Amino acid sequence: MYTIKAFAKINLYLKITGFSDGYHTIESRFLRVDDLYDTISFTPCECESFTIDGMDNVELTNNTIYKAFIALNNFNGNSDVLDFFHHHKVVVNKQIPTLAGLGGGSSDAASFLMLTNRVCNLNIDTPTLALIGSKVGADVPFFVYNYKIANVSGFGEIIEPFEEEDIEVELFTPNFGCDTAIVYKSFKEHFLKNINPKSFKHWTKLKFIDILKETSWNRSLLNDLYQAAVTIYPMLENQKDEEWFFSGSGSTFFRLKIK
């Protein structure tokens, strides 16, 4: 009852559509990766303050789970939540690599919100919980909705489930990560002026296999952040061949498994 899986995700494609209010807007298709996940548990503990075990390398105030806790309290103000976490701590079994473009921090935050909503009987509906999660990170709403595959747009807050044939992927994460903020900054400085959102707007209605056919001559078209990331992390260019696709803004590549 007090444990939940926080799944990874990949971006089957990721296109930048603009820049507004200090943030990039996107069109993307997310795929939940069911065989890679962190585990979030609430275990008994007499805690003087909100406590997270298993993530000692992250300062508490920078932890997405802590940010989710604050966002939930700002929205809800329910003393039962505060009381619960005086008697329980959060324990994270971390399996999703950091700075990998797999959404681990966002998934942890979403799973924390969903588990707290359940165990504290808050009865917050999914759209509202996703809205709370959006205060923590752009990818959090996708994980709150818990779709297997979805088109994600805007600042990450527009989530539309998408019907695809079963897609199985293999992941490769090199032994280094890519900082999301730095990659997006690189994109804004070097590539934002060249975007043409109309050229891929129809992708939201296409199966991924058909998008692959359209981009077969240049796989980097699938992810606008690839060239921006290579500008900062040139070693990315030597990691994988054209069978592999760059996911998100981190260092992970994926390829489709042959069935």
Q: Are 115 and 82 in contact (CB under 8 A)?
A: no
Q: Contact, 87 vs 131, CB < 8 A?
A: no
51's CB contacts (< 8 A; 6+ apart) are 45, 85, 89, 90
Residue 254 CB-half CA count within 13 A: 25
Is residue 150 marked as binding? no
Is 139 annotated as catalytic? Answer: yes
Query: Are the C-beta atoms of 251 and 96 separated by less than 8 Å?
Result: no
What's the rounded Cα separation, in Å, for the pair 234 and 231? Answer: 6
**Is 20 a known ligand-binding residue?**
no
Is 141 marked within a binding site?
no
Half-sphere exposure of 34 (CA within 13 A, CB side): 7
Is 221 annotated as ligand-binding?
A: no
Q: Is 77 annotated as a binding residue?
A: no
HSE value, Cβ hemisphere, 13 Å, CA-based, for 249: 20
Determine whether 9 is an active site residue: yes
> Is 98 known as a binding-site position?
yes
Report which secondary-structure segment, H or E, holds 30: strand 23-44
102 is in an annotated binding site: yes
Does the annotation place 14 within a ligand binding site? no
Residue 101 assigned as binding residue: yes
Candidates 15, 38, 89, 139; catalytic one: 139
Longest dimension (CA), the chain: 59
Q: Was 161 annotated as part of a binding site?
A: no
Q: How far is CA 2 from CA 29, 90, 91, 112, 242, in A?
A: 30, 10, 10, 10, 42
Q: Which of 5, 9, 35, 207 is catalytic?
A: 9
The owner of tokens 């992941």 is 171
Catalytic residues: 9, 139
Annotated binding site: 97-107
Annotated binding site for ATP: 97-107
